[in-house]
Amino acid sequence: MDFRKGSRREDPDINLIPFIDVLLVILIFLMVTTTYSKFTALQITLPTADAEKAMEQPAEINVAVDAQGRYALDNRQVAARDAAALADELRSAVGSRGKDPVVIINADAMAAHQSVINVLEAARLAGLDKVTFAAQTSGKK
Protein fold of 60-133: Nucleotidyltransferase; domain 5 (3.30.420)
- Return the domain boundaries, the chain: 60-133
How much is the average pLDDT of 68-81? 87
The pLDDT tens digits for 10-59 are: 777 888 899 999 999 999 999 888 876 655 555 555 566 666 666 677 78
108 or 122, higher pLDDT: 122
Q: How confident is the model at residue 134 (pLDDT cuts 50, 70, 90)?
A: confident
Band (120; pLDDT cuts 50, 70, 90): very high
Q: Is residue 7 scored above 70 in pLDDT?
A: no
Distance between CA atoms of residues 135 and 90, nearest Å: 21
What percent of the chain stands above pLDDT 70?
A: 74
**Burial of 57 by CB count in 10 Å (0-12 exposed, 13-18 middle, 19+ buried)?**
exposed
Distance CA 43, CA 20 (A): 44
